[in-house]
Amino acid sequence: MFDLILKNGTVYDGTGASGQRVDVGVRGGHIEAVGDLGNDATEVIDCSGLTVAPGFIDIHTHSDATLLSDADGYSLLMQGVTTEIIGNCGFSCAPCMKRELVEKFMIGRLPGQAFTWNSFGEYLDVLQAQKPGLNVGAYVGHNTVRLNIIGNEPRLADEDELTYMGNVLRQSLDEGAIGVSSGLEYNPGFHSDLQELVSIAKVAAEYDATYATHVRNRDWQYEMGVGEALATARLAGARLQLSHLVPKVGAPEHAADHILEMMDWTKRLGIDVGYDVIPHEWGPTFLYTILPRWAYEGGVKEMVRRLADPSLRPKLKHNPFPQWKLVAEKRWSELVLTRSGANPELIGLDFEEIGRRRNADPHDAILDILLEEDENMADLTWVGKISPDRDIRLMLEQSDCAVISDAITLNVTGPLKDVRFAPTAFGWTARFLGHYARDGAMMDLAEGIRRLTSLPAKRMNLDRRGELRPGYFADIVVFDAASIGDNSTLQDMNATPTGLVHVYVNGKAAVADGKRTPARAGQVVRRASRRH
Which residues of the shown chain bind Zn ion in the complex (CB under 5 A)? 89, 214
Between 89 and 386, CB nearer to Zn ion: 89
CB 135 to Zn ion: min, Å: 21
CB 60 to Zn ion: min, Å: 8
* CA pseudo-torsion sign 38, 39, 43, 44: positive
Residues 6+ apart with CB under 8 A from 254: none
CB 328 to Zn ion: min, Å: 19
Residue 11's alpha-carbon distances to 15, 212, 433, 475, 502, in angstroms, are 11, 32, 16, 13, 14
Between 89 and 271, CB nearer to Zn ion: 89
Between 190 and 479, CB nearer to Zn ion: 190
Give the residue from 100, 11, 4, 7 showing the smallest Cα distance to 52.
11
Phi-psi region of 512 (alpha: psi -120 to 50; beta: other; left: phi over 0): beta
CB 214 to Zn ion: min, Å: 4
Between 233 and 521, CB nearer to Zn ion: 233
CB 296 to Zn ion: min, Å: 17
CB 424 to Zn ion: min, Å: 12
Cα 277 from Cα 387, distance rounded (Å):
10
Between 185 and 350, CB nearer to Zn ion: 185
CB 276 to Zn ion: min, Å: 10
| Peptide bond connecting 188 to the previous residue in cis, omega within 30 degrees of 0 | yes
Three-state secondary structure call for residue 228: helix
Between 109 and 214, CB nearer to Zn ion: 214
CB 90 to Zn ion: min, Å: 8
The 10 Å Cβ neighbour count of residue 264 is: 10
CB 186 to Zn ion: min, Å: 8
Give the residue from 21, 48, 46, 47 showing the smallest Cα distance to 35.
21
Of all helices (H) and strands (E), which one includes residue 338?
A: strand 335-339
Cα 393 from Cα 352, distance rounded (Å):
29
Between 44 and 422, CB nearer to Zn ion: 422
**Could you tell me which residues are beta bridge partners of residue 399?**
none
Scanning 249-402, the segments in alpha helix (DSSP H) are 255-268, 300-308, 313-317, 325-328, 351-358, 362-372, 389-396
Of all helices (H) and strands (E), which one includes residue 418?
A: none
Between 91 and 296, CB nearer to Zn ion: 91
The pairing of beta strand 476-479 with beta strand 500-505 = antiparallel
Cα atoms in the 13 Å half-sphere on the side-chain side of 491: 1
CB 299 to Zn ion: min, Å: 21
Between 77 and 89, CB nearer to Zn ion: 89
Residue 449's alpha-carbon distances to 20, 59, 165, 206, 453, in angstroms, are 14, 15, 38, 32, 6
Cα of 354 vs its chain's centroid, Å: 28
The 10 Å Cβ neighbour count of residue 293 is: 13
Between 191 and 218, CB nearer to Zn ion: 218
